[in-house]
Amino acid sequence: MRPTIVKDNQPLPSNLAVLKFGGSVLSDAQAVHSAAHEIYRFVRRGEKVIAVVSAIAGETDALMALAKDVGGCENAPGKASLLRLGEIRAAALLALALERVGLDARAVDPAEIDLRAEGSPDDAGLCGLNHDRLAALLAAHEVLIVPGFSGVLEDGQPALLGRGGTDLSAVYLGVALNAKRVRLIKDVDGLYAGDPKTDPNPRRFGQINWEDAREICGHSIQDHALEYAQKHDLRLEIAASARAFDTRIAPNSASSHAPAQTRKLKVALLGFGTVGEGVYAHLDRHQDLFEVSGILVRDAAKERDSNAPAHLISTDAGEVFATRPDIVVEMIGGVDAADAFILNAFFGGADVVSANKAVMAANYDNLHAAAARAGRALRYSAAVGGGVPMLEALDQARKNGGVASVQGVINGTANFILDRLAEGCPFDQAVREAQEKGFAEADPSADLDGDDAAAKLCLMARHGFEMPLRANQISLESLSDLDQASIDAAREAGKVIRQISEIRRDDKGALHASVSLQALDKDHYLAAAKGEQNRLVINLQNGQNLFLRGKGAGRWPTAEAVMADLLDIHRLRGQYEENVSVRAPEPACA
Ligand code: NAP
Ligand code: HSE
C-alpha cells in the first residue's frame, strides 16, 4: 500500500533524486559545503534534488541532554519539539551553503508539507504528506531541503521517527514522490561484510537485497526504513560523498569484492585569486581525497585571504610542475601563458580543469587534441555560467532532440554594472564595485565590450551545436557606448537594459551569434537576472524551452563548478584504479 497523500494535480518531476545526509557526513557546520558539492553534482546532471538532513553530529545528543536536564524526564512532551531543532538547524545551514553557490534551494519544515506521523511521539512512523504542496515547491526550486527525523501528528504536535529516523524520512519521500533515486550518503562508500574502519581487508557489496542488508549492516541503516523500502520495492543507493562506488539495495544480492584503496590526488593550482582561493578552501576540507602540491602566482608577497602555507606558493611554474601533480587547475586567465601551462600539464601526465573561457575558446581544438593524445581529462565547466551548469545543459539538450537557439545573460559583471547604472551609480564606480566583488575579468573591458561573453558563446556553440564558432564571427556592442539618457529612457518605459548573448542556427545550418544591449520588458525572463546572476533560455528543436539561472560570477559559484570537475575526475580515477566492473562507469561528464 502506498502512503496516504493529499493530492491534487501538480505533476512531480520525473528526475527526482532524494539525497540523505546523515550525522556521520555532517560532522560539523562547515561540512554542509561537502553536502553542497554532492547536491550540485546531481543538479548539474539535470536532476531535481530533495536533500534530507540529520542534525550536525553531536547536536541531537546535546539536545537530548538538555531536554533531560530542563524537563527532568526523557519522555517529557516537549522533547520532540526540542530534538527536531537539530535537523531544522542543519537544513538552514545547508540552505545557506547552497545559496552561496547560487543554487535555488529552499528549506522546508515538515509541518509545511504536512509530513504526517503516526504512533508514539518518540518512535513514530510516517503515513502521509501534502503531495500538491511539495510538487509546487519542487516546481519552483531546484533543491528542497527537508529536515529528517520528525513528522507531524494529527493534532499538529511534532513526533520523532526513532534512532536513525532520517533514513525513514528519505525512504518515505522517495516512495511517495516516486523518486528516480534515493541515495543514503554516509561516511563509508557502501555496505561492507565487515567494519571497513577496523577490518584491513573488508569486502564491499555491489548489490545486496533488503534482508541481507538488514542482517549485515547492523544499525547503519534504520530497520524501519529498510522494511519500508522493501515493502514498496524501493531500491536504495548507499554511498559516501565524492566516492566512485556505492552499494545498491535491490531485490537480488550480487557478489561482494575487496575494494582497492583510492589514493589521494595531487593538485597544482595555477592562479590564486578570486577563484583559486575558493578552490583551495574546498580542497583543504577534502584532505582525504586531495593534496594541494603547489600554487602558482605572479606575486608571492601579495596578501591573500587564505591560510595556505607559504611553502606551497611559488612564482616558478617549473617548481609547481615538479611536484608531479595528478591534476592541474588553471585559473590564471588569458590565453598564451594558460595555453602553455595546460599543454605542459598534459605532457606531464596530469588531467586539467580550467575556469578560463578565453583560452578554451581560442584554442579549443588544439587543447582537446592534446588531451586526447595524452589520454587525459580536460574539464572547464566553470568557464561558462560560473555556478550555472550551462555547458552540461547544452550537452544534454543537444543529445535529447537538438538545440535551435540560445539566448542569455552570460556575463555577471555587465549585468551587475547595468543594474547599478539603472540605480544611478556612476559608470566608473559600478565597474570598481564589480572588481571589488571579484566578478570582473583582470581587464574588465572584456566584460564591458562583450569579449568575455563572446568567448562563452564560442564554447556554447561547441556544446550546443557541435560546431566551431570564432570570436570574430560574433557581433559585439559595448557597455562603454551606453549613455545615461538611454538608461533613463528604458527605465521610464518600464524596461531593463541587458547584455544579451545569442546563437541562432539558420535553415542552412549556419550559426549567427551576437552580444548586444537590449531593452527588455521588466517581466522578460532574462530581464529578471539581478546583479551577477546569469540566465539562459535554450530553445530546443522540438519547440520546448529550457530555463537556467544562478550565480554567474564570484568566488563560490565558480569554485563550486571547478570542484565538481575535480570530484568527477577523482571518481573516474577511482573507478580506473579499482579496476573492477561492479557496474558500468558513469558518463564522463557526470
Ligand atoms: P584573479 O582574481 O585575477 O586571479 C588570477 C590569479 O592568477 C592570481 O593569483 C594571479 O597571481 C595569477 N596569475 C595571473 N597570471 C599569471 C601568470 N602568468 N603566471 C602566474 N600566475 C598568474 O582572477 P579570477 O577572477 O580568479 O579568474 C581566474 C580565471 O577564472 C579567469 O580565467 C576567469 O575568466 C575565470 N573565471 C572567473 C570567474 C569570476 O567570477 N572571477 C568566474 C568564472 C570564470 P597574483 O595573485 O600574484 O596576481
Ligand atoms: N567576468 C566574468 C563575468 C566572470 O562577470 O561573467 C564569470 O565568467
**Nearest Cα to 221, choosing from 178, 159, 146, 168?**
168
Nearest residue CA, atom 6 of ligand 2? 411
Average pLDDT of span 355-376 = 98
Based on the fold, state whether residues 22 and 142 are members of the same structural domain: yes
Based on the fold, state whether residues 356 and 449 are members of the same structural domain: no
> For residue 383, which atom of ligand 1 is closest to its CA?
44
- Asked, for residue 433, whether it belongs to a domain, the answer is yes
**Nearest Cα to 37, choosing from 91, 94, 89, 92?**
94
Where does a domain end: 187, 218, 233? 187
Given the DSSP bridges, would you call strands 290-296 and 313-314 parallel, antiparallel or unpaired?
parallel
> For residue 302, which atom of ligand 1 is closest to its CA?
47
Q: Within its chain, how far is the Cα of 197 from the centroid?
A: 29
Domain of 379, CATH number, reads 3.40.50.720
Q: Are 161 and 153 in contact (CB under 8 A)?
A: no
Give the DSSP letter string of 187-240: SSSS-BSS-TTT-SS--EESEE-HHHHHHHSTTSS-HHHHHHHHHTT--EEEEE
Q: Is the CB of 300 under 6 A from ligand 1?
A: no
Q: Is the CB of 453 under 6 A from ligand 2?
A: no
Q: CB 267: neighbour CB atoms within 10 A?
A: 28
Q: Are 332 and 270 in contact (CB under 8 A)?
A: yes
**Nearest Cα to 117, choosing from 161, 87, 54?**
161
Mapped onto helix, strand or coil, the DSSP state of residue 353 is strand
The residue behind cell 590565453 is 335
Given the DSSP bridges, would you call strands 48-53 and 4-6 parallel, antiparallel or unpaired?
unpaired
Q: Is the pLDDT of residue 151 over 80?
A: yes
Average pLDDT of span 222-244 = 93
Q: Is the CB of 395 under 6 A from ligand 2?
A: no
Domain of 491, CATH number, reads 3.30.360.10
Site to substitute for ligand 1 among 306, 331, 437, most atoms within 8 A of C-beta: 331
Mapped onto helix, strand or coil, the DSSP state of residue 370 is helix
CA of 335 to the centre of ligand 1 (A): 12
Sign of the C-alpha dihedral, residues 378, 384, 388, 394? Answer: negative
Indicate the pLDDT class of residue 585, thresholds 50, 70 and 90.
very low
Task: Specify the pTM.
Answer: 0.95
- Asked, for residue 199, whether it belongs to a domain, the answer is no
Based on the fold, state whether residues 353 and 428 are members of the same structural domain: no
Nearest residue CA, atom 25 of ligand 1? 274
Q: Can you read off the three cell numbers belonging to residue 199?
A: 577490518
Higher-confidence residue: 465 or 4? 465
pLDDT of residue 203: 86
Based on the fold, state whether residues 526 and 400 are members of the same structural domain: yes
Q: Is the pLDDT of residue 386 over 70?
A: yes
pLDDT of residue 375: 97
Q: Can you read off the three cell numbers belonging to residue 93?
A: 545551514
3-state helix, strand, coil in the chain (%, to 5): 40, 25, 40
Q: Can you read off the three cell numbers belonging to residue 309?
A: 602555507
CA of 551 to the centre of ligand 2 (A): 10
Average pLDDT of span 537-556 = 96
CA distance 8 to 526: 31
Q: Is the pLDDT of residue 299 over 70?
A: yes
Angle at CA 203, nearest 5°, toward 200 and 204?
125
Indicate the pLDDT class of residue 4, thresholds 50, 70 and 90.
low
Given the DSSP bridges, would you call strands 403-409 and 533-540 parallel, antiparallel or unpaired?
antiparallel
Q: Are 204 and 247 in contact (CB under 8 A)?
A: yes
Q: Is the CB of 441 under 6 A from ligand 2?
A: yes
Indicate the pLDDT class of residue 263, thresholds 50, 70 and 90.
confident
Based on the fold, state whether residues 348 and 367 are members of the same structural domain: yes
pLDDT of residue 197: 74
pLDDT of residue 581: 36
Based on the fold, state whether residues 183 and 296 are members of the same structural domain: no
Based on the fold, state whether residues 272 and 360 are members of the same structural domain: yes
- Considering the chain, what percentage of its residues have pLDDT values greater than 70? 94
* Helices 555-578/32-44 angle, 10° precision: 80
pLDDT of residue 582: 37
pLDDT of residue 410: 98
- The string of pLDDT tens digits covering residues 19-38 is 999 999 999 999 999 999 99
Given the DSSP bridges, would you call strands 105-107 and 290-296 parallel, antiparallel or unpaired?
unpaired
Based on the fold, state whether residues 380 and 526 are members of the same structural domain: no
Average pLDDT of span 547-552 = 97
> For residue 558, which atom of ligand 2 is closest to its CA?
7
Q: Is the CB of 452 under 6 A from ligand 2?
A: yes
Domain of 84, CATH number, reads 3.40.1160.10
Nearest residue CA, atom 42 of ligand 1? 553
- Asked, for residue 535, whether it belongs to a domain, the answer is yes
CA distance 125 to 558: 41
What average pLDDT does the chain have? 93
CA of 553 to the centre of ligand 2 (A): 5
Site to substitute for ligand 1 among 299, 319, 332, most atoms within 8 A of C-beta: 332
Q: Is the CB of 231 under 6 A from ligand 1?
A: no
CA of 277 to the centre of ligand 1 (A): 10
Q: Is 51 exposed, middle or buried (0-12, 13-18, 19+ CB in 10 A)?
A: buried
Nearest residue CA, atom 4 of ligand 1? 273
Give the burial string for 239-258 (b: 16+ CB within 10 Å, else e).
bbbbbbbbbbbbeebeebee
Based on the fold, state whether residues 34 and 176 are members of the same structural domain: yes
Q: Is the CB of 441 under 6 A from ligand 1?
A: yes
pLDDT of residue 384: 98
CA of 336 to the centre of ligand 1 (A): 14
Which residue type occupies 322?
A
Indicate the pLDDT class of residue 388, thresholds 50, 70 and 90.
very high
Q: Which H helix or E strand runs over 373?
A: helix 364-374
Q: Is the CB of 386 under 6 A from ligand 2?
A: yes
CA of 438 to the centre of ligand 1 (A): 10
| Alpha-carbon dihedral angle through residues 37, 501, 468, 326, given to the nearest 10 degrees | -20
Based on the fold, state whether residues 88 and 138 are members of the same structural domain: yes
Classify residue 494 as left (phi > 0), alpha (psi -120 to 50) or beta: left
Indicate the pLDDT class of residue 578, thresholds 50, 70 and 90.
low
**Nearest Cα to 400, choosing from 242, 576, 540?**
540
Where does a domain end: 154, 187, 220? 187
Instruction: Give the ligand at the shortest distance from the Cα of 270.
Output: 1
Q: Which H helix or E strand runs over 282?
A: helix 274-284
- By mean pLDDT, which of 150-159, 163-172, 184-193, 389-398 is the weakest? 184-193
**Domains in the chain, number:** 3
Residue range(s) defining the domain that contains residue 126: 11-187
Q: Is the pLDDT of residue 589 over 50?
A: no
HEC sequence for 60-81: HHHHHHHHHHHHCCCCCCCHHH
Q: Is the pLDDT of residue 584 over 70?
A: no
Q: Can you read off the three cell numbers belonging to residue 533?
A: 546572476
CA of 444 to the centre of ligand 2 (A): 9
Strands, sheet with 313-314, edge to edge from the N-terminal-most edge strand = 313-314, 290-296, 265-270, 327-330, 351-354, 378-379
Nearest residue CA, atom 23 of ligand 1? 273
> For residue 272, which atom of ligand 1 is closest to its CA?
9
Give the DSSP letter string of 433-497: HHHHTT-S-SSTHHHHSSHHHHHHHHHHHHHHHS----GGGEEE--GGG--HHHHHHHHHTTEEE
- Asked, for residue 215, whether it belongs to a domain, the answer is no
Nearest residue CA, atom 7 of ligand 2? 553
Q: Is the CB of 308 under 6 A from ligand 1?
A: no
pLDDT of residue 244: 81
pLDDT of residue 583: 37
First-residue to last-residue Cα distance in the chain = 35
Q: Is the CB of 438 under 6 A from ligand 1?
A: yes
Q: Within its chain, how far is the Cα of 460 from the centroid?
A: 20
Based on the fold, state whether residues 139 and 22 are members of the same structural domain: yes
- By mean pLDDT, which of 99-103, 452-456, 496-500, 574-578 is the weakest? 574-578
Indicate the pLDDT class of residue 241, thresholds 50, 70 and 90.
confident
Site to substitute for ligand 1 among 339, 558, 560, 565, most atoms within 8 A of C-beta: 558
Instruction: Give the ligand at the shortest distance from the Cα of 412.
Output: 2
pLDDT of residue 250: 93
- Asked, for residue 141, whether it belongs to a domain, the answer is yes
- Asked, for residue 82, whether it belongs to a domain, the answer is yes
Taken as a whole, the chain contains a residue count of 590
Give the burial string for 142-178 (b: 16+ CB within 10 Å, else e).
bbbbbbbbbbbbeeeebbbbbebbbbbbbbbbbbbbe
Q: Is the CB of 273 under 6 A from ligand 1?
A: yes
Q: Is the CB of 442 under 6 A from ligand 1?
A: yes
Nearest residue CA, atom 4 of ligand 2? 553
302 catalytic residue (yes or no): no
CA of 291 to the centre of ligand 1 (A): 21
Q: Is the CB of 553 under 6 A from ligand 2?
A: yes
- The string of pLDDT tens digits covering residues 390-448 is 999 999 999 998 999 999 999 999 999 999 999 999 999 999 999 999 999 999 999 99
Q: Which H helix or E strand runs over 569?
A: helix 555-578
- Asked, for residue 493, whether it belongs to a domain, the answer is yes
- The string of pLDDT tens digits covering residues 442-471 is 999 999 999 999 999 999 999 999 999 999
Q: Is the pLDDT of residue 590 over 50?
A: no
Angle at CA 402, nearest 5°, toward 354 and 560?
25
- Asked, for residue 240, whether it belongs to a domain, the answer is no
Based on the fold, state whether residues 281 and 180 are members of the same structural domain: no
Which one from 456, 495, 530, 551 is the annotated catalytic residue?
456
> For residue 453, which atom of ligand 2 is closest to its CA?
6
